[in-house]
Amino acid sequence: ADDSATPAFVAADLLSQAEHTGNEFVALLTPSRALGEAVQAELERQLSTLQRQAMARQSLERFGAIIITRDLNEAVALANAIAPEHLELAVANPEALLEQVHHAGAVFLGHYSPETVGDYFAGPNHVLPTNGTARFASPLSVDDFVKKTSLIEYTPAHLQQVGEQICRFARMEGYDAHARAVEIRLDALPRKE
């Protein structure tokens, strides 16, 4: 978040994640110390109004953070290192930062796109990579429900070209029969001069 963010909005968004089980990691990354302090005060004010106050407080105390960064670039770099399930860009120009975001399950752009919109209404699913797995995994998508089959076809020439390499890989893993399945075919082919 930057100075254009409304502290009450940011605090509400942090609490919306903190209220799940009491074990959620929630963080504000901002170059604005004033915003960080205002959000901290707002968190205390809003916590007292929640039905799930105990769980939200536990999340904040155990796994909550307000981190003051040098600038927004450092904030995005830290977000990439965390690889969050949800990442809100509560900044004046979220599109300018978007190309720097490499690891997040879902990204919410601007001050009027709280994560709750994604949970209940926007359309993308709510099955996202958690616990930093956004570094290597994507959200659930239609592709996960489409059965795919790989097709592999080598000609004799292709197999001759790479067969020895395949056999080395197989033997490095200790799979002689795998190697032999290639070698038996190579032995049946005319030798290259």
Catalytic residues: 85-86
Residues paired with residue 67 on neighbouring β-strands, in sequence order: 29
Q: Are 89 and 98 in contact (CB under 8 A)?
A: yes
Amino acid of residue 122:
A
CA distances from 126 to 3, 91, 123, 136 (A): 29, 23, 9, 18
Instruction: Report which of 78, 74, 52, 55 is spatially closest to residue 65, judged by C-alpha positions.
Output: 78
